[in-house]
Structure 1
Amino acid sequence: MGVKVEPPESRGVSVELLATVDLAGEIDGMEGLQLRMRMVTIEPGGVFGPLHGHAGRPGTVYILQGTITDHRDGVATEYGPGVGWPEDRNTLHWLENRGSVPAVEVSVDIVRGD
């Protein structure tokens, strides 16, 4: 069992929208939803917070560079580079970069369209 750390506010994070696909017409019942791909960069010492969930917004993460620490359920797990983690309706977490180089991830998720 890990030590519980209170999630700080976001800092040192940039997010670039890479692509979206409107799922209406692609898959029955998916009206109003989009498949979204983003590149997220977390600078050394940066935090992607605060604590947030993924109910209604499932996704997956792939780490391109550096290491990202995922905090959930009182446990800190380091990922990268390579396959990261799934984000499902039970995911409640926050992220940080404890390393000395920028950590870069590609995140793909399903979200409500505008």
Structure 2
Amino acid sequence: MNHDQVPPETRGVTVERLATVDLGPEIEGMAGLQLRMRKVTLAPGGVFGPIHDHKGRPGTVYILQGTITDHRDGVATDYGPGVGWPEDRNTTHWLENRGTIPAVEISVDIVRQEPAQA
């Protein structure tokens, strides 16, 4: 059984939130949504899974370092530094780092705002 048939659970991933913007005050009709930028690091052998979609959470990814393998529709595609991809409502995938150095990406997406904690 190959990796595309049974995506593994997340492991070896660190996520750092870099910035957020509340879109409600910025754009009419966007109340409750937030523009979010994160730095995601996948250690060698790391996996960002399990398989997930981006319905209601569109975004873009840009690779800073290393190589990230994007698994979607039974196809594994490697992306290295200086390359990125869109994540739209039709994106269903999982990611892994098959390399020997940490892979680092910048991920920018629109998400539902997390409720304020008391």
Which portions of structure 1, spanning 4 or more consecutive aligned residues, are displaced by more than 4 angstroms? none
Distance 1:20 1:29 in 2: 18
1:14-54 CA deviation, whole Å, 9 max, x = no partner? 00000000001211100000000000000001100000000
Shift of 1:83: 2.3
Gaps of 5+ in 1: none
Distance 2:48 2:4 in 1: 17
Over the matched positions of the two proteins, sequence identity in percent amounts to: 79
1:72-100 CA deviation, whole Å, 9 max, x = no partner? 00000000101211000000000000000
Give the corresponding residue for 2:29. 29
Distance 1:21 1:51 in 2: 27
What TM-score, normalized by structure 1, do the two folds share?
A: 0.95
Structure 2 letter corresponding to 1:97: N
Distance 1:40 1:60 in 2: 13
Q: How many residues align?
A: 112
Shift of 1:5: 3.3
Distance 1:103 1:86 in 2: 18
Gaps of 5+ in 2: none
Distance 2:102 2:4 in 1: 25
Distance 1:113 1:83 in 2: 28
Matches within 5 A, 1:32-111: 32-111=32-111
Structure 2 letter corresponding to 1:23: L
